[in-house]
Amino acid sequence: MEYCVLNIGGLKVQVDGHDREFINLVSSQYIDFIQPGGESIDLKLTLSHDSWPEDTEDISIEKINNSYILAGEKFECLLDTQARSAAVRIIKELTHFNTFLRVFYSQVLVFSEGFMVHAAGLIRNNRAYLFAGPSESGKTTTAKRANGFDILSDELVIIRRINNIFFLYSTPFSGEYTQRIKNLKAPLSNIFFLNKRLKTGLVSKSSLSSFIDLLENIFFFDQEKDSSQFILGLSSRLTAVIESFDINILSYSDLGRFVDGLSKGAEANT
């Protein structure tokens, strides 16, 4: 059996399959998120490729005992959280695998103190900045204007809490940003909610307002009670400790100078 090991959001998933060509395609597609085999893994994912009916339903997640069934267009996955393994039946096309992988990681992150957010993510001076918003809100614009930053994504990033510190991780799940994205993480410094209609450029948000807006941008499909409560609890703790703002990104021609000034102001107040 052929395999490769993905490391996304700090979660190492071994992808097994009998089709060497497809495993090689996965390795090439996610090259900056591939790590050498032989190291410890968090979960094993086994692929099989079958034909698929045309009337497949939209993405759904169902919990059965300690397992989850993840289903979507051209894929179906049985995730066993106790065995730390998953088996997926999927069409042999990278576009469908990419869709599946987004859904898969959004689910397994729940068991690792994390979740995925619709946002652009940036790193500067070992500080991470989250710019959240729906489609057309300015995530790609933010990434393209971020000279002097490492770009984590312009579409989906991962937040995880490790030893009571919130970290922001890059992902290979990008939107229209075409430059190479490295596998990086840094402590989260600020959250910004993109708002092109904002006239003042920047407005501080309360933790409650930030919590509500963050929930609207979390990438998550599981409606099961325990999972939903986890997302609510972790989001509440995050927005209680991380300073948040509404921002019109078009008001700032030099994003580096802006966040540097914000960081200096935060340090002066500590």
pTM, whole model, 2 decimals?
0.93
**Distance (Å, whole) CA 185 – CA 205:** 25
Hey, where are the domains in the chain?
2-112, 114-268
pLDDT computed for residue 53 by the predictor:
58
Per-residue pLDDT for the chain (270 aa), expressed as one digit of tens each? 799 999 999 999 999 998 999 999 999 999 999 987 666 788 999 999 877 656 566 899 999 988 999 999 889 999 998 899 999 999 889 999 999 999 999 999 999 999 999 999 999 999 999 999 988 889 999 999 899 999 999 999 999 999 999 999 999 999 888 889 999 999 999 999 999 888 888 999 999 999 999 999 999 999 888 899 999 999 999 999 999 999 999 888 888 889 888 876 555 444
**Distance (Å, whole) CA 121 – CA 184:** 10
Alpha carbon of residue 22 to chain centroid: 24
**Distance (Å, whole) CA 70 – CA 47:** 14
The CATH fold of domain 114-268:
Phosphoenolpyruvate Carboxykinase; domain 3 (3.90.228)
Q: What angle do CA 143, 27, 36 make, to 5 degrees?
A: 100
**Distance (Å, whole) CA 129 – CA 65:** 38
pLDDT computed for residue 55 by the predictor:
56
